[in-house]
Structure 1
Amino acid sequence: MFCKYGHTDVEGYTVADWAGSVTDKRSTFGYFTFVGGNLVTWRSKKQKVVSRYSAEAEYCGMAPVVCELLRLKRLLRDLGFGPQKPMDLYCDNKAAIAVAHNPVQHDRTKHMEVD
């Protein structure tokens, strides 16, 4: 059941478990998205590659969330309910946040650009 909170803000939350798989050391990421304060999508999946460090696992886990947020934004626009403010993506890893905010660090993450 959806509740009316008076807005159509789109938010995403993501988390990754770095090298959480005991057998192959691949990370698992998960995310969930909210539209207007209501949970609309969620997913958990093992990553295709082995991450070298936790920030890489988090950063690679953010890519599918961004795609999902953009899909939701287009869907809302098509329905005539465009978001009232920019979409927010929340991540709990300080290193991944630093990479996203600092263009200088992008040189150190070229191997992640494929994602």
Structure 2
Amino acid sequence: MHDPRKDHMDAVYQILRYLKSAPRKELIFRKNGHVSIKDYCNFDWASCADDRRSTTGYCIFIGGNLVWWKSKKQPVVARSTAEAEYRAMTLGVVELLWLKISPH
């Protein structure tokens, strides 16, 4: 958001083209009477047999609506499941903090 590049805009255009080509599909955000933020994260320790790096995944819900999700390989090899789990939680918390401090 603070340093947009051409790749980011290309991704936005791809999403908009998809939505335009599928008019019966929609993004639904329900009013659930609360605006609580919840983060769920998971990891798969040393899931890649080639480089032994773990995979992290997390999703963020605001008011019960999914607003962000991501899955990616961790940048380093974790020595234990606990380390991989802490790295996964850290990525989710970073996104939560970004949501908290971003202007509304």
TM-score with structure 2 length normalisation? Answer: 0.71
Q: Could you report, residue by residue, the CA deviation over 1:58-95 in whole angstroms, capped at 9, with x for unpaired residues?
A: 101111111100111223xx32xxxxxxxxxxxxxxxx
Shift of 1:9: 0.2
Of all paired residues, the percent bearing the same amino acid is 52
Relative contact order, higher structure (CA 8 A, sep 6+): 1
Q: Which runs of 5+ in 2 are unaligned?
A: 1-27
Give matches, 1:18-97, under 5 Å: 18-75=45-102, 78-79=103-104
The separation in 1 between residues aligned to 2:36 and 2:60, in whole angstroms, is 10
Equivalent pair of 1:8/1:36 in contact (CA under 8 Å): yes
* Secondary structure, counterpart of 2:33 in structure 1: coil
Q: For the pair shown, which has the larger CA radius of gyration, 1 or 2?
A: 2
Question: Aligned partners of 1:72 and 1:37: how far apart in 2?
Answer: 15
Is the Cα contact below 8 Å between 1:27 and 1:46 reproduced in 2? yes
5+ residue gaps, structure 1, are 80-115
Matched, 1:16 2:43: yes
Paired amino acid for 1:62: M
| CA distance in 2: counterparts of 1:60 and 1:72, whole angstroms | 19
* One-letter amino acid matched to 1:72: L
Residue identity matched to 1:9: S
TM-superposed CA distance for 1:14, in Å, is 0.4
Amino acid paired to 2:61:
F
Q: Which amino acid in 2 is paired with 1:30?
A: G
Equivalent residue, structure 1, for 2:34: 7
The ranges of structure 1 where at least 4 consecutive aligned residues each deviate by more than 2 angstroms after the TM superposition are none
